[in-house]
Amino acid sequence: MIKVLKPGLQTTVQDNGRNGYYALGMPPSGAMDKFSFLAANLLVGNDENAAVLEATYLGPELEFQTDAVIAIAGGEFPPKVNGQCVPLWTTLAIREGDVLSFDFVKQGARVYIAVAGGIEVPVKMGSRSTYTLCGIGGFEGRALQKGDVLAIGERTGPSPVEGTAVPVYLRMKFSKSNEIRVVMGLCSYRLTEEARRKFLSIDWTVTPDANRVGYRFKGEPLDFVPRKQPFGAGSDPSNVTDLGYPIGSIQVPSGIEPIALLHDAVTGGGYVTIATIISTDLNKMGQIKSNETVRFVEVTLDEAIEARKELNAKLDEIKQIIS
Amino acid sequence: MSEQAVISEVPGVFYRKPSPDEPVYVEEGQKVKAGETIGLIEVMKNFYEVTAPADGTVKAFKAEEGDVVDAGQEIAVIE
Amino acid sequence: MAEQKTSSTRYELGGDEFIFVELSESMNLEAMFKGMAITNGLAEEKLDGIMDICPGNASYMIRLNPEVIHPQEVIEKLKKLEASTTDYENIAIESRVIDVPVLFEDPWTHEALMRFRKNHQDPDSTDLEYCARINGFDSKQDLIRSIVDYPFLVSMVGFVPGLPFTFQLTSQEKQIEVPKYVTPRTFTPERAFGFGGAFAVIYPVQGAGGYQLFGTAAAPILDVQQQLPDFKESMVFPRQGDILRYRDVDRDEYDSIRQEVEAGTFRYKTEELSFTPGEVMSDPQAFAEKVMRRLYHD
């Protein structure tokens, strides 16, 4: 068992996500940075879909009431066991009574804490991920609170030896200014040529309105091609007849402050969507903090698929090193 | 008297007032108790309280109303 | 090779995992029924790598795993499906007709809409009064009557889990159309009955929203704990293709339904109905009468 001494700012149980229920209006949830999530699970010998803890901006303080094997990966939140610094991206042995805590975040936005055996919470619609809006999944459908006690699942295999690490060149890298690759499309026909150019050329600043639902950006207004609004859409030029929103899609309500929809997002609505963040770059997006900047870079579908292959090759390399 | 820094635990936007039309939580030179709220950090659509780490007097604020602060940044000094 | 018939349909990529297909920019019954036929056709093919098929209002969306099936391949398949979906007017839809009790002008949405008056086009009237006026009704009662007179078809489920977008099965000139709030509200009560664009919705959970608020549904459409009998198989009740008849109830009936919900005994009055899109589009009035008979007399 793991006792929550301090919950952090928003710490939730997440796995690979609740996939297959999009048509019911259920977003997938799941780890925002799947790369770090997966690396943490690999470092403790878990199944790739085992549930972990995802902490945002402020790490939790956890008391282990049993011996355990853990790994911490993702943003640079310097971890400590009983006050002593321990390394990130590394297999760690924990003794009963040890307390895991974190120093202030240095880089990145989210850190993943994997425990051999996984965090044991009930599976809801195929997943252990927390979706707080409806109180589904995770630990009682909500972020952790002080005093919660988490169960650890059965181990499915041996863990790598203590000290096994993901080499530095394979770890997530962070920056205060970021390039995020997008495929233009969806209703981008609504943008004027100038707005499209502007969207792809300016630095967008992440506002404090940035969480698992989505990130809102500040920049410059984007104009739409004038039209008589079609029946059923609504009167604002940014309104469309309500439609589905992909994960990673970028919408522009009223032409100001674009919003990138992420893993706990609404699945549809009536705002024009203009582009979609490619799946590999959602990991990076999930590690960007308020007030950092993003530049959206257009890529083709083939380039997006190539990026998936590169990411999978990187994960395969990690698997080779660990096993 | 020893000085103690008040550190922001989270990154976000710093405010000294509970809301724009209200007075500040504490003025410089005012006495505070350990655990007393001296400001807020806006983060992820929520507000996170910044509290005094010890009893003492607020000597100075190191961040202004509306400043963007990093986690670990010094916000005030208590003496 | 024969050239494929050109259509105005837009096939768009949503990154590497999504395909978005816009059949029409405006809402209409043809686009909705055609989308239903195409998405049903795709579901029947049971292709590996298709993760989600999400019918929309005048569009639809597919989520896929590009490691299993290439998005371009799926787009080609969808174009062929569209080209072969010529007879959708005559394809029978196996549907449910459902009686949905609504308390119009209830105290909870009234409190919410008054709180957000400055977000609204017309701060001096209520949402119902404003929408009645801009749709040319003499009174808000006339607007309510026009909502309850003709049934609505669930054209899309989404936004949040279980929220049904419903489009009225009536002729185009009788369709109600209202704008969304100028600035969205940060609060909408649970089970609020709203109207935006050409769609009536029920908000499953409390949260943000931009639709005009007319009332509150007595029974839930999302039951996360799955305690009510209608929710045993799924926590979400409405399905795309369902026909909802919104029925105005008074406060006494509303309260008694609430008691049944609290006691865990409430069940929606539901009947099976097979119909064709052609039947609806050629004579909406006759179809509405058929729905009412099926629901309340047969």
Distance to chain A for C73, nearest Cα, Å: 12
Closest partner residue to B44 (CB to CB) among A56, A103, A104 is A56
**B44 pLDDT above the threshold of 90:** no
Q: Which fold has domain B4-78?
A: OB fold (Dihydrolipoamide Acetyltransferase, E2P) (2.40.50)
When pLDDT is cut at 50, 70 and 90, the band that residue C6 belongs to is very low
Neighbours of C72 (CB within 10 A): 15
**Neighbours of A (≥3 Cβ pairs closer than 8 A)?**
B, C
**B42 pLDDT above the threshold of 50:** yes
Which pLDDT score, from 0 to 100, does residue B67 have?
92
Q: From chain B, pick out residues whose CB is under 8 angstroms from the CB of A105.
A: 10-11, 71-72
Residue of A nearest to B48 (CA): A9
Q: What backbone torsions phi and psi does residue C73 show, to the nearest 5 degrees?
A: -65, -40
- Residue ranges per domain, chain B? 4-78
Here the tokens at position C166 are: 């419903």
Complex-level ipTM: 0.96
Which pLDDT score, from 0 to 100, does residue C2 have?
40
When pLDDT is cut at 50, 70 and 90, the band that residue B20 belongs to is confident
**C1 pLDDT above the threshold of 50:** no
Which domains are delineated in chain C?
Answer: 10-88 (3.30.1360.40), 94-296 (2.40.100.10)
Q: From chain A, pick out residues whose CB is under 8 angstroms from the CB of B63.
A: none
Neighbours of B62 (CB within 10 A): 15
Give chain C's mean pLDDT. Answer: 94
When pLDDT is cut at 50, 70 and 90, the band that residue B1 belongs to is low
Q: Report the percentage of chain C scoring pLDDT > 90.
A: 89
Which pLDDT score, from 0 to 100, does residue B46 have?
82
Which pLDDT score, from 0 to 100, does residue A157 have?
87
Which pLDDT score, from 0 to 100, does residue C5 have?
42
Which 3 state secondary structure label does DSSP give C58?
coil
Q: What is the mean pLDDT of residues C185-213?
A: 95
Write the burial class of residue A173 (CB in 10 Å: 0-12 exposed, 13-18 middle, 19+ buried). exposed
Q: From chain A, pick out residues whose CB is under 8 angstroms from the CB of C75.
A: none
Q: Which has the higher per-residue pLDDT, A4 or C6?
A: A4
Q: What's at C154, amino acid-wise?
A: V
Which pLDDT score, from 0 to 100, does residue C7 have?
62
Where chain A has pLDDT below 50, the residues are none
Which domains are delineated in chain A?
Answer: 2-170 (no CATH), 177-310 (2.40.100.10)
Dihedral sign (CA C19, C24, C28, C33): negative
Question: E strands along B1-79, which residues?
Answer: 4-7, 12-15, 31-32, 37-43, 46-51, 56-61, 68-69, 74-78
Strands C93-104 and C243-248, how do they pair?
parallel
Q: What backbone torsions phi and psi does residue B12 show, to the nearest 5 degrees?
A: 165, -160
Closest partner residue to B42 (CB to CB) among A103, A104, A208 is A208
For residue A160, the 8-state DSSP code is: P
Angle between helices C127-134 and C140-149 (to 10 degrees): 80
Query: Touching check for A291 and chain B: CB below 8 Å?
Result: yes
Ramachandran bin of A147, using left for φ above 0, alpha for ψ from -120 to 50, beta for the remaining angles: left
Closest partner residue to C165 (CB to CB) among A19, A189, A242 is A242
Which pLDDT score, from 0 to 100, does residue C84 have?
93
Q: What is the mean pLDDT of residues C76-97?
A: 93
Q: From chain A, pick out residues whose CB is under 8 angstroms from the CB of B7.
A: 104
pLDDT digits (tens, 9 = 90+) for A206-223: 998 899 999 999 999 999
**C289 pLDDT above the threshold of 60:** yes
Q: Is B68 within 8 Å of A106 when comparing Cβ atoms? A: no
Is the separation of the CB atoms in A233 and C48 below 8 Å?
Answer: no
